[in-house]
């Protein structure tokens, strides 16, 4: 199985470990990526909140690249990139005037929809059976709070992948690693995302609420599928402790890292040591492991 791959800027910097772990994990599952050549930033929040034409064009530049490089499905592991690519493509394909304008701007032709996938769709497509078949550890002592954040499943009418309010796909994937999932309330709440730098106070408040609810509902680790969420929930915990002195550190993993652990990779291989909040897994090993 091969998929097109649009890493997104974070994967080359703050979310390096997400990129590392994802590539390793899919390799183990017999899947490979064709990285989109010369991909550029999707425009992220900053473009669409200030200039809709710019936002559209920046995202569509990458869709155009996929078209010319013969890639018809692209995995965008960052939820924000995924959302921008999906929404821009939807807008462009549904409004002839935008399509004409964007085509002229980029000197490109959009003839068919490029299937943009998030990391949940990717693992669903690879098949949960593959994870179960290849797992070396059953992560049964982990009680995982699956955090979708806001952009992964929204808007459901356009992303057409999972329920926008009560999604289930991440839980299914996590359960395939043998870990348990907890039912909690903040699965699709927003962490503050782009305000991480300019309004850190907001981000800290929102992220604190999210972590607290996960803890209250019995989680001992949180799993995310978005570099922005991870930055806010992991890195901001240090500042969180200053604002909320009683705050206890809580580990936050990328989905790919969790799967990697169950496939037998260690923390260093997966880049978990790059997190601000330490996480060491010393769980049970499957008795009938294949060496």
**Interface contacts to another protein, rule CB under 8 A:** 9-10, 12-14, 16, 38-41, 43-55, 57-58, 61, 83, 95, 105-106, 150-151, 154-156, 163-166, 185, 188-190, 192-195, 197-200, 202, 206, 213, 216, 235, 238-239, 274, 276
C-beta of 51 vs 284, nearer to another protein: 51
Shortest distance, position 129 Cβ to another protein, whole Å: 24
142 vs 170, which CB is nearer to another protein? Answer: 170
Q: Are 138 and 175 in contact (CB under 8 A)?
A: no
Identify the H or E element spanning 98: helix 96-106
Residue with Cβ nearer another protein (166 or 266): 166
Min dist. Cβ of residue 94 to another protein (A): 9
Smallest distance from the beta carbon of 290 to another protein, in angstroms?
A: 33
Beta bridge pairs of residue 93: none
φ/ψ bin of 271: left (φ > 0), alpha (ψ from -120 to 50), beta (otherwise): left
- Tokens 């995982």 map to which residue? 144
Measured CA to CA, the distance from residue 117 to residue 92 in angstroms comes to: 18
Euclidean distance between CA atoms 84 and 152, whole angstroms: 11
**Closer residue to another protein in complex, CB, 47/85:** 47
Q: Yes or no: say if 84 and 55 are a contact pair by the CB < 8 Å rule.
A: yes
- Taking alpha carbons only, the member of 203, 232, 254, 233 closest to residue 77 is 254
The CA-atom distances, in angstroms, between 278 and each of 22, 221, 249 are: 19, 11, 9
The CB-of-186 to another protein minimum distance in angstroms stands at 8
Distance CA 253, CA 214 (A): 13
Q: What is the distance in angstroms between the CA of the first residue and the CA of the last residue of the chain?
A: 24
- Smallest separation, CB 159 to another protein (Å): 10
Angle at the Cα of 27 from the Cα atoms of 22 and 30, rounded to 5 degrees: 130
Whichever of 23 and 48 has its CB closer to another protein, that residue is 48
Q: What is the DSSP letter of 248?
A: P
Closest separation in Å from C-beta 103 to another protein? 13
Looking at the Cβ atoms of 115 and 200, the one nearer to another protein is 200
| Residue (139 or 186) nearer to another protein, CB | 186
CB of 151 to another protein, least distance (A): 7
Q: What's 220's DSSP letter?
A: S
Rg (CA), the chain: 19
The CB-of-280 to another protein minimum distance in angstroms stands at 17
User: Of 37 and 133, which has the nearer Cβ to another protein?
Assistant: 37
Q: How far apart are CA 239 and CA 211, in angstroms?
A: 14
């Amino acid at each position: 199985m091969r998929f097109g791959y649009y890493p997104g800027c974070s994967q080359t910097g703050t979310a390096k470990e997400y990129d590392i772990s994802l590539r390793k994990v899919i390799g183990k599952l017999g899947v490979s990526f064709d990285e989109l050549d010369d991909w550029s930033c999707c425009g992220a929040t900053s473009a669409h909140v200030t200039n809709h034409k710019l936002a559209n064009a920046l995202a569509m530049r990458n869709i155009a690249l996929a078209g010319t490089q013969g890639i018809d499905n692209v995995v965008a592991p960052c939820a924000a990139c995924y959302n921008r690519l999906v929404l821009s493509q939807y807008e462009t394909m549904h409004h002839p005037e935008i399509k004409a304008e964007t085509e002229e701007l980029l000197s490109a032709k959009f003839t068919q929809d490029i299937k943009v996938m998030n990391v949940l769709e990717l693992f669903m497509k690879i098949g949960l059976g593959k994870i179960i078949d290849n797992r070396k550890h059953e992560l049964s002592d982990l009680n995982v709070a699956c955090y979708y954040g806001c952009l992964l499943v929204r808007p459901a009418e356009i992303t057409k992948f999972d329920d926008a309010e009560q999604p289930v796909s991440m839980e299914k994937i996590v359960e395939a690693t043998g870990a348990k999932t907890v039912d909690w309330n903040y699965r699709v709440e927003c962490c503050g995302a782009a305000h991480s730098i300019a309004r850190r106070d907001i981000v800290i408040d929102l992220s604190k609420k999210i972590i607290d609810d996960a803890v209250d509902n019995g989680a001992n680790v949180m799993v995310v599928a978005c570099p922005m969420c991870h930055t806010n929930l992991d890195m901001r915990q240090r500042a969180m402790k200053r604002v909320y002195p009683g705050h206890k550190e809580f580990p936050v993993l990328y989905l790919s890292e969790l799967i990697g652990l169950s496939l037998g990779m260690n923390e260093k291989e997966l880049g978990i040591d790059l997190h601000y909040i330490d996480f060491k897994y010393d769980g049970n090993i499957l008795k009938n492991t294949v060496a």
